[in-house]
Homo-oligomer: A and B are copies of this chain.
Amino acid sequence: MDLQRNLKLTIAYDGHDFSGWQIQPDRPTIQGTLVSVIEHLTGETTLPQGSGRTDAGVHALAQVASVSTQSSIPLLNFRKALNDILPAAIRILSVEEVPPEFHARKSAVAKTYQYRIHRAEICPPFLARYVYHHPYPLNEALMIEAAGLVLGEHDFTSFAAVDPERKKPEREREDLEVNNVRTIYSSAWHRHGDDLIYTVRGSGFLHHMVRNLVGTFLMVGKINVTLPDLRRILEARNRSAASATAPASGLFLLGVEY
């Protein structure tokens, strides 16, 4: 049983009751929960590597993690056994065996996020955990126009979190790359009933980048930031140029491409 297998887990989670993806002492996290259940199932102490961290309250439809294991449990049984012991807020959608060189973060070539703003005057209680409720006036046409301005390759420093408190080891950090240049392949707002939804696909995202983009688009919608302002903010490469970070509840990691 000395066979080491590299597994790719695809994971959905309701992030509301978790302190984000990354394992932390004495706090419920997605990664920490996975460490516990894998240890419970296999007896091994592993550290599943996510495609990136998601913050407290952020959700995922298809986060990806890679984990190395000596367990010989068949893949389908592995998935079922993990789901049997995981809380209902975390579901393993699939378990696949991948080549040893596959790494959920380093091998990722693109990611897609979605941000959901609920526009009705009263937010249904069943949506409150999964949206940002903003019933106030917004010029949505301007926001739709603004979304296109971030397309392409840019230095996104203006939209990256300034995290003096982050003291995690380098290898644990999502934004391993030495610079803040990322490429946005698609960026668009659309309406779906009472929801105003932003979908963005890019080569990678800096910490808080999607929520900072959404916060700035909201300022555009409130006519506090013009489209030329938005171009200047992007070009400033300075976090203090952009707007507030939009709340975590509306953000979903939709998927990761390899």
Query: Which residues in A have some Cβ–Cβ distance to B below 8 Å?
Result: 12-14, 59, 83, 88-93, 122-126, 128-130, 133
A122 — which chain B residues lie within 8 A by C-beta?
83, 91-93
A12 — which chain B residues lie within 8 A by C-beta?
124-126
Copy tally for this chain in the complex stands at 2
Closest Cβ–Cβ distance, residue A248 to chain B (whole Å) = 14
A91–B14 Cα gap in the complex (Å)? 21
A93 — which chain B residues lie within 8 A by C-beta?
122
Closest Cβ–Cβ distance, residue A96 to chain B (whole Å) = 15
- Establish whether residues B59 and A91, one from each chain, have CB atoms under 8 Å apart when the complex forms: no
- Establish whether residues B125 and A91, one from each chain, have CB atoms under 8 Å apart when the complex forms: yes
- Establish whether residues A88 and B123, one from each chain, have CB atoms under 8 Å apart when the complex forms: yes
Closest Cβ–Cβ distance, residue A195 to chain B (whole Å) = 14
- Establish whether residues B128 and A89, one from each chain, have CB atoms under 8 Å apart when the complex forms: yes
- Establish whether residues B128 and A88, one from each chain, have CB atoms under 8 Å apart when the complex forms: yes
Beyond A88-B123, A88-B133, A91-B125, list 11 extra A-B contacts (CB 8 Å).
Answer: A12-B125, A14-B125, A59-B125, A59-B126, A88-B125, A89-B125, A89-B128, A91-B122, A92-B122, A93-B122, A126-B130
A133 — which chain B residues lie within 8 A by C-beta?
88
Q: List 23 A-B contacts (CB under 8 A).
A: A12-B124, A13-B125, A14-B125, A14-B126, A14-B128, A59-B125, A59-B126, A83-B122, A88-B123, A88-B125, A88-B128, A88-B129, A88-B133, A89-B125, A89-B128, A90-B125, A91-B122, A91-B123, A91-B124, A91-B125, A92-B122, A93-B122, A126-B130
A135–B231 Cα gap in the complex (Å)? 51
A59–B128 Cα gap in the complex (Å)? 14
A125 — which chain B residues lie within 8 A by C-beta?
12-14, 59, 88-91
A129 — which chain B residues lie within 8 A by C-beta?
88
Closest Cβ–Cβ distance, residue A205 to chain B (whole Å) = 22
Closest Cβ–Cβ distance, residue A56 to chain B (whole Å) = 16
A128–B83 Cα gap in the complex (Å)? 13
Closest Cβ–Cβ distance, residue A85 to chain B (whole Å) = 14
A83 — which chain B residues lie within 8 A by C-beta?
122
Closest Cβ–Cβ distance, residue A81 to chain B (whole Å) = 13
A59–B92 Cα gap in the complex (Å)? 27
A35–B153 Cα gap in the complex (Å)? 55
A82–B59 Cα gap in the complex (Å)? 29
A129–B130 Cα gap in the complex (Å)? 13
